[in-house]
Amino acid sequence: MTHLPWDLQLLNTCAALLLLLSFAMLSQRRIVTLVDLLAIQGGLLAVATLLLAWRTGQPHLYLSALLTVALKVAFLPWLLHRLIHRLEVYWDTEPLLNISGTLLAGVVIVVFAFGLAQPITQLANTTMRSAIGIAIAVVLLAFLMMITRRKAMSQVIGFLSMENGLFFGAMSATYGMPMVIELGVALDVLVAVLVLGVFFFQIREQFDSLDLHHLESLKESE
């Protein structure tokens, strides 16, 4: 990687760190730490967007970086921390897979993601096309976290991590989406988290827990 310009080396480093953070989130059971890892992931996205904006000279990427810092580094982690303390949900229960099994499945997913990204990489003409495989891997690892966790809060964090992977993939393949689309996606994510926050309180009132297996006990009234 020594023959690459310094900014591309930093972009590839950010991509590798995003992948490592996804594995760290898979192995983490403390929900507060999951939120902190999500905020770090957002910070890496902002740094990568700034580097790409400097390299390409596209002004809308600077706005994207600012929006990423405001929403994914500051506001959403603050909101999730408030929900965690209000609901007193600090640890996830035993997942469907143990930690070693989940990490092993994550390695298989990464191999599959890089194979899936091979034809997409050949079609892309951006300087970050090598990071498309990592973006797909981040999305699939976030999906794995969502389907193996029982706590609703952990699944929402997985959803937000998936959105981070999609954002990074769009930036890698096309130098980012148009600003109007990015604002729309950001608003959708914000509204989704706020609605899910209300949903959490409703589950807590009904079951005194955010473990989603309690929803299986619901029966249709005859």
- Looking at the domain assignment, is residue 220 inside a domain? no
Query: Percentage of the chain surpassing pLDDT 70?
Result: 72
Which is higher by pLDDT, 192 or 24?
Answer: 24
Report the C-alpha gap between 46 and 119 in whole angstroms: 27
Predicted pLDDT at 218: 47
**219 in a domain, yes or no?**
no
Asked whether the predicted pLDDT for residue 221 surpasses 50, the reply is no
- Which residues touch 166 (CB under 8 Å, ≥6 apart)? 135, 139
Tens of pLDDT, residues 64-83: 888 889 888 998 889 888 88
| DSSP-derived 3-state class of residue 29 | coil
The contacts of residue 65 (CB under 8 Å, 6+ apart) are 46, 49, 50, 53
pLDDT value, residue 20: 94
- The pLDDT mean for the chain works out to 78
pLDDT over 90 percentage in the chain: 21
Name the domain count of the chain.
1
To which H or E segment does residue 30 belong?
none
Read off the DSSP letter of residue 138: H
Range of the domain at 23: 6-210
Tell me: the pLDDT tens digits for 97-152?
788 888 999 999 999 998 888 887 776 656 667 788 898 999 999 999 888 887 77
Q: What pLDDT shows up at residue 187? A: 62
Please check whether residue 161 lies inside any domain of the structure. Answer: yes
Answer for the pair 66, 72: CB distance below 8 angstroms, yes or no.
no
Q: Is residue 23 part of a domain?
A: yes
Closest CA to 143 of 124, 157, 129: 157
Whether pTM exceeds 0.95: no
Q: CA 134 to CA 113: how far, in whole Å?
A: 7
Domain annotation covers residue 181: yes
How far is residue 208's CA from residue 144's CA, in Å, rounded to a whole number? 26
